[in-house]
Amino acid sequence: MPWYKEVSRQEWKTFLTTFAAWTLDAFDFTIITFVFTDIQRSFEVNAALAGALATVTLFFRMIGGIGAGTLADRYGRKGPILFSIAWYTGFAFLSGLSTSYVMLFTFRGLFGIGMGGMWAAGMPLALEQWPAKHRGIASGILQGGYSTGFLLSSLVYQLGYPVIDDNPDWAWRLMLWAGVIPAIAIFFLMTRVSESPMWLEQQRQRAGKPARLSIARMFDRDLLEVTIHTSLLMGAFVWMYQSTTIWYPRLLSALGYTRPLAFLLLLNAGGMIGSIAFGWLSEKWGGRRGSATLGMVAGILSVPLYLFSETAGMLMLGAWLIGFCASGAWGIVPGYLSERFPTEVRGVGTGFSYHVGVGIGAFAPYLIGVLQDGGTQLQTAMAWCIVAGGIFVVTLLWLGPETRGKQL
């Protein structure tokens, strides 16, 4: 029997709805990277402050991830997901109404709360219902939703922006509103999925026992090392990814590629396919650590092609390679984090570690902006941050345990 037939219709429904919600989450976040120049012009701010709009979103994801993860362990996975979708949709809309940089900065920060909550509650909901022997490929598909969202924002910008670019002050606002209607549709689809049966069974087993917030459990002696290690590992992952992507549209524009769709398609299609490939590979060869290490090392070696090539063809090859390899290495992340934490703290454990990591990595876009303002070439600033992040990912992976095949 093919692997996909071993998953029930209800499990597929839950999985695909979660995938769609995470994809749209990524779309709403990445669309702003294409309009940094317009925002700088509208509010007369420098490159560092433009980059800070991404940094503040990533930083506030910690609040959403920790809060929604805690609630998901206590009250179920679905409720926090629905709240998160409504929250990030509302603040994506309000961001487009901003009349000052401070207002936009505030709304993008608050947007991050919903973005973080979606991941923290959504990944356990999807993976707790999935057969253990296929968790690697499920993890890869789920994480590939981020690259899918980035790819969709690239298409919307490429096809939609030229229609409205005669008024740049409104064009960037319309771009930020592009995901609002799809998000409303996904919200109603999510109301129809089932709660995690693993969480329901745990609640039956714990009936009548004193309730304790799961976040407190994470700092017990037996889990403290796991919490610290996974948070630092995710910090390295996020640092490398944000260094790779946030300023990339700006780099292409500076190199003269003002319609960068082909580059972004290759980058994000590589990330989508690579996430699935390295997730699948983690079940077959090398485990979670070996698979991700292979991707990260290949990604680091692709940096010269990605940033310093002098022809469009070589730049495109670099975009595909770093997308497939470095972004593809992320394919292990949802499964790996789920396997590191027990059921009673899986929501807050995955949410906390992932989003503390996001908080660490949030400073990469800002640092790249600061380096530019100080006279460093954009390619050089990106390269330093990408390579440093990749080295830390590989090092931290091998300081932690292998988790392939672990029962949730």
Half-sphere CA count of 209, side-chain side, radius 13 A? 9
Q: How far apart are CA 7 and CA 105, in angstroms?
A: 43
Domain that holds residue 335: 9-192+221-399
Average confidence (pLDDT) per 10 residues, the chain, 408 residues: 76 88 88 85 83 82 84 86 91 92 93 86 82 79 84 87 85 90 91 85 74 74 91 93 86 82 87 89 88 95 94 93 93 88 82 84 84 88 94 95 80
Residue 199 lies in a domain: no
Cα 129 → chain centroid: 21
Q: How far apart are CA 261 and CA 212, in angstroms?
A: 49
For tokens 């109404």, the residue is 97
Residue 214 lies in a domain: no
Residue 305: its pLDDT value, please?
94
Residue 353 lies in a domain: yes
Residue 212 lies in a domain: no
Residue 380: its pLDDT value, please?
93
Give per-residue burial for 83-115: e unless 16+ CB within 10 Å, then b: bbbebbbbbbbbbbebeebeebbbbbbbbbbbb
Residue 133: its pLDDT value, please?
75
Residue 260 lies in a domain: yes
Q: 127: closest CA among 136, 118, 115, 114?
A: 136
Residue 211 lies in a domain: no
Residue 210 lies in a domain: no
Residue 161: its pLDDT value, please?
87
SS3 303: helix
Radius of gyration of the chain (CA): 20
Residue 346: its pLDDT value, please?
83
8 Å CB contact between 272 and 147: yes
CATH number at residue 240: 1.20.1250.20
SS3 341: coil
Residue 211: its pLDDT value, please?
64
Please state whether 76 falls in left (phi above 0), alpha (psi between -120 and 50) or beta: left
Number of domains forming the structure of the chain:
1
Residue 177: its pLDDT value, please?
92
Residue 130: its pLDDT value, please?
78
Q: How far apart are CA 69 and CA 79, in angstroms?
A: 11
8 Å CB contact between 91 and 118: no
For tokens 């290759």, the residue is 266
Residue 370: its pLDDT value, please?
86
Residue 205 lies in a domain: no
